[in-house]
Structure 1
Amino acid sequence: MEETQAVIEILKHAGQLALSYFRKVVPEWKRDLTYVTEADLAVQGYIQEALAKRFPGDGIVAEENGLNADPDVGSRTWVVDPIDGTAAFAAGLPIWGPGIALFEDGELVAGYFYAPAVGDLFHTTRSGKVLRNGHPTRLRQSVPFHRETSLLVASRLHRNYHIDPSFPGKLRNLGSSIAHLCYLATGCADAALMERVYVWDIAPGLAMLQHNGGMLVYLDGTPVQISDLLQRQRAPQPMLAGHPETITALAPLIQYVNSPEDREAEIRDHASPCQTQSAAST
């Protein structure tokens, strides 16, 4: 079976497995103050096993239990998020799903995401296309901004950011970082403001964004080198994604008001009483 189709089949099965747990699980806290559920662990176990069987020798970086192979060993590394949007999943909301990305020699070359509750399947092709449910897509840009310009935002926008009131458009949060990038890449939004997330939270969607001509930069304007995050560290700054012209016009309107040091202190202060035994093992 051709590689892209093989990964799609793995992704579809993973999505259906996650769907079998939907609205039936109770979340637990992890050290980083995010949720994990038994569905995350079951889906990740399936994806890791399926990828290892289909692509033996490839590295795998996965959210919930570390590495099954070092990403520096060999030229190919799969990045896995079993359920991106776990909080939305646990709340019974529909935008979440498994995401898979492929790096070759440190370069992000492919991305896959499936949102089974709404039936949306996104993936790149080796020919450079980005497909949503089998249909070709394109990135849009909205400069100058107007009332229907759509900015996908981080869930804690009210705590961590200030958006200049001169921005005339709309703000939306769907509950999944990968979904934000996928819907952005396929023309459903104009830009996305991303938190200081991990490689698995963005790589699948970023592959699609890049294939369609978009870019991801830190708020200070520095381009994001996604391979730098393969060692499981958080991004050093929030990020902005979109068409290059959109990013240029939008970046001056966004101010980050919560420093990385504040966030790390929040995690240190609250992680111990929140974490559970199963969460602490992740």
Structure 2
Amino acid sequence: MNSTLHPMLNVAIRAARAAGAIINRAALDVEAVRISQKQVNDFVTEVDHASEAAIIETLLTAFPQHGIHAEESGRTHGNPHSDHVWIIDPLDGTTNFIHGFPVYCVSIALSVRGRIEQAVVYDPSRNDLFTATRGRGAYLNDRRIRVSKRTQLNQCLISTGFPYRKGDDMPTYLRMMADVMQRTEGLRQPGAAALDLAHVAAGYTDAFFHSGLQPWDVAAGSLLVTEAGGLIGNFTGESEFMEQQECLAGSPRVYGQLVSLLGKYSKYRSTKPEVIRQASGTLPGPDASMPSAP
């Protein structure tokens, strides 16, 4: 039981639940939600804006001197010079939401001097609350969570996200997915990166990879993963993933094997060969590792 919550985490939970209530009310009549398009296949709704406003109001009422970095309003709220910055995605999985597909979440993280210290990912359709404080572990609804114990890639379920914006390198992504699909038990694309990372932390999936993500997509989930005993970085296994729009997360042994597999696709080829050499376990060929029939 996570009985002694950090005061700042408590406020973040309150903010996430306020946003979740707005999202759940709107989900009752999703056809009535007003939608606008930011760019090709990238949507924002009045629910995103209302959810974000509720989160910011809750956070700044408690911590008026803190900074805000939010998906829809950027850095226009809060103290731009603070070393405490709340990184907010008010509705991750907007496309799912507007179709009534119940895979979306609220993501809130607190960065202190550039390091994520508090994290909340709230799934309002399931009322699942994922939380973490640096050094205190990761929790789902007050129950301690850990990453998966699987070590063989051919027994693993991996989540990802498909590229959908103009200019995304679809041919490379298709090669990456083919490489992963041939060596694993399954590949899934749920469509909400923050929730994908929370599910890695809970052991529901064994790893997650994605390119083109923004800090608000991965900030909270990254702390959930590491506090649950997992690893997160870019495709070459280095830690500078937050601003690089390249994210790989998983249990340690699986993470290492995926670094070996996906590193060659990275825009940030490692200058540290030992990062690749340290990958745990061997990487089997696609034929040898296909799951056997039950």
Give the alignment's TM-score, normalised by structure 2.
0.77
Q: Which residue matches 2:174?
A: 161
State which drifts further: 22-31 or 109-118.
Answer: 22-31
Matches for 1:157-236 after TM superposition, within 5 Å: 160-162=173-175, 163-164=178-179, 166-226=182-242, 229=243, 235-236=244-245
Instruction: Give yes or no for contact 1:62–1:81 (8 Å, CA) kept in 2.
Output: yes
Q: CA 1:72/1:42 → structure 2, altered by over 3 Å: closer, same or farther? A: closer
Asked whether the equivalents of residues 59 and 68 of structure 1 are also in contact (C-alpha less than 8 Å), the reply is no
- Give the gaps of 5 or more residues in structure 1: 230-234, 261-282
Match for 2:68 among 57, 60, 66?
A: 60
Larger Rg: 2
In the other structure, the counterpart of 1:245 is 253
Structure-1 separation of matches of 2:254 and 2:79: 33
User: AA paired with 1:174?
Assistant: P
Alignment check: 8 A CA contact 2:69 2:85 kept: yes
Superposed CA RMSD: 2.5
1:122 equivalent to 2:135? Answer no
Q: Please, which of 13, 21, 27 is the counterpart of residue 18 of structure 2?
A: 13
Residues matched between the structures, number? 251
AA matched with 1:206: S
- In the aligned structure 2, how far is the partner of 1:151 from the partner of 1:71? 39
**Which residue of structure 1 lines up, in the alignment, with residue 283 of structure 2?**
none
The amino acid across from 2:225 in the alignment is L
Partner AA of 2:162 in structure 1:
S
Q: Which residue type is aligned with residue 11 of structure 1?
A: A
Aligned to 1:151: 158
Identity percentage over the alignment?
Answer: 26
Instruction: Please give the alpha-carbon distance, in whole angstroms, between the structure 1 residues aligned to 2:209 and 2:182.
Output: 17
TM-score norm. by structure 1 comes to 0.81
Q: Residue 144 of structure 2 is aligned with which of 108, 111, 136?
A: 136
Task: Tell me if the contact between 1:141 and 1:246 (Cα under 8 Å) persists in the aligned partners.
Answer: no
Task: Indicate the residue corresponding to 2:56 in structure 1.
Answer: 48
Distance, in Å, in 2 between the alignment partners of 1:52 and 1:39 is 20
Question: Structure 2 stretches of 5 or more lacking a match?
Answer: 1-5, 165-169, 269-294
RCO comparison, higher one (Cα < 8 Å, 6+): 1
